[in-house]
Amino acid sequence: MKEFELIKQFFSKQLVKRKDVVLGIGDDCAVLAPIENQNVVVTTDTLVAGVHFPLDTSPKAIGHKAVAVNLSDIAAMGAKPSWISLAITVPEVDEAWLEAFAEGVFELCEFYNVQLIGGDTTQGPLSITITAQGLTPKDSYLSRSGAKAGDWLYVTGDLGDAALALQQITGKVELEPQHISSIKAKLDFPKPRVLAGQTLREYASAAIDLSDGLIADLGHICQASNVGANIVLDAIPLSTIMRESLLIDDALSLALSGGDDYELLFTVSEDNKVGMETAMSHAGTPITCIGQLNTSRTISTTLNNKPTSIKANGFEHFSD
């Protein structure tokens, strides 16, 4: 199967046809007509086999996750996702694999009304790169740099489950059989907090999605905003499976540094705190206050109202 036959068979057939896409797949470039008085936000993420997902991950899960991690970045900006382009490198043309991969891509795209508008295909070691674009009202978006000392620190959902799944896959922990499929879904099929991000745009002072681990990603907010933070370890939201499967110290370590959560970490001023909590309740998104920002420019933790030291780092894209 040649390149353009592959594109036509697997990636040209999708249900989403947006009115702002003037020209989509099949030409040298896509042509878009963004809405007037809107900002366009753009992000790119690459997933490499054996680095960002285990080698035996199902193709549908790979397709889903490739889209989800990009939409999670869009969510962290408070934007509404609109379009993606896909560059995929595969060792060979395996039609069954590509069919399942495309199903994972399009299932999430259809849910969020996102159109695949182009990309590239090539032969080589398996990797997937997606560029996603989204829209926000003009000059209304979230970033990492708006946090202030005194702001409250929140997360959506539970933390650490995806890291726990990876530990189970690599044989570092044993889980009860009834827990394995549930916890593995957190790793393979993350759910980007798109609606939550758009809701938070009206209330949050800063936001980031949790891809590399809580400590690492909070560090990005602290650096960009020139603030410090204290995390209340007792408050970190852990799933029932996490609490039943690990000692509390091990569970907190995964929650702090495991990565792959794709939840939102965000900050809110005292004045916006009640309004934000009400809005997020109406949006149906679980949130937890896990600490507060300060002027220290360092990250500290407390447990049982006492200062405690932590040994936790996030995922490093480059290591020695």
Q: What are 246-268's pLDDT values in tens digits? A: 999 999 999 999 989 999 999 99
Cβ within 8 Å of residue 51, ≥6 positions away = none
Instruction: Count CA within 13 A, CB hemisphere, residue 68.
Output: 25
**Per-residue confidence band for 31, with pLDDT thresholds at 50, 70 and 90:** confident
Both 197 and 64 in one domain: the answer is no
Both 66 and 126 in one domain: the answer is yes
Nearest to 114 by CA among 89, 99, 131: 131
Both 104 and 159 in one domain: the answer is no
Please report whether residue 251 resides in a domain: yes
Between 36 and 130, where is the model more confident? 130
Both 191 and 128 in one domain: the answer is no
pLDDT of residue 320: 46
Percent pLDDT > 90 in the chain is 77
pLDDT of residue 292: 98
Both 131 and 162 in one domain: the answer is no
Please report whether residue 144 resides in a domain: no
pLDDT of residue 139: 82
Both 124 and 165 in one domain: the answer is no
Nearest to 80 by CA among 249, 247, 196: 196
Whether the pLDDT of residue 315 is over 70: the answer is no
**Per-residue confidence band for 30, with pLDDT thresholds at 50, 70 and 90:** low
- The CATH number of residue 18's host domain is 3.30.1330.10
Residues that constitute the known binding site for Mg(2+): 28, 43-45, 73, 120, 209, 212
Please report whether residue 318 resides in a domain: no
Domain final residue pick, 84, 109, 137 = 137
Sign of the Cα pseudo-torsion (237, 81, 40, 45, in order)? positive
Please report whether residue 179 resides in a domain: yes
Please report whether residue 257 resides in a domain: yes
- The CATH number of residue 236's host domain is 3.90.650.10
Both 179 and 85 in one domain: the answer is no
Cβ within 8 Å of residue 195, ≥6 positions away = 283, 285
Cβ within 8 Å of residue 42, ≥6 positions away = 131, 132, 133
Whether the pLDDT of residue 13 is over 80: the answer is no
**Per-residue confidence band for 109, with pLDDT thresholds at 50, 70 and 90:** very high
Both 226 and 128 in one domain: the answer is no
pLDDT of residue 9: 80
Q: Average the pLDDT over 180-186 and give the result.
A: 93
Both 88 and 190 in one domain: the answer is no
The chain-wide mean pLDDT, for the chain, equals 91
Hey, which residues does 206 pair with through a beta bridge?
Answer: 267
Number of domains making up the chain: 2
Please report whether residue 145 resides in a domain: no
Domain final residue pick, 137, 164, 186 = 137
> What pTM was estimated for this model as a whole?
0.90
What is the rounded CA–CA span in Å between residue 262 and residue 220?
15
Place of tokens 């990876």: 166
Please report whether residue 112 resides in a domain: yes
Residues that constitute the known binding site for substrate: 52, 260, 315
Sign of the Cα pseudo-torsion (158, 159, 160, 163, in order)? positive
pLDDT by residue (tens digit) across 129-143? 999 999 999 888 999
pLDDT of residue 317: 40
What range does the domain containing 83 cover? 3-137
Both 163 and 130 in one domain: the answer is no
What is the distance in angstroms between the CA of the first residue and the CA of the last residue of the chain?
40
Both 256 and 180 in one domain: the answer is yes
Query: CA 306, 312, 314: angle at the middle one, nearest 5?
Result: 135
Both 110 and 168 in one domain: the answer is no
Residues that constitute the known binding site: 28, 43-45, 52, 73, 119-120, 144, 209, 211-212, 260, 315
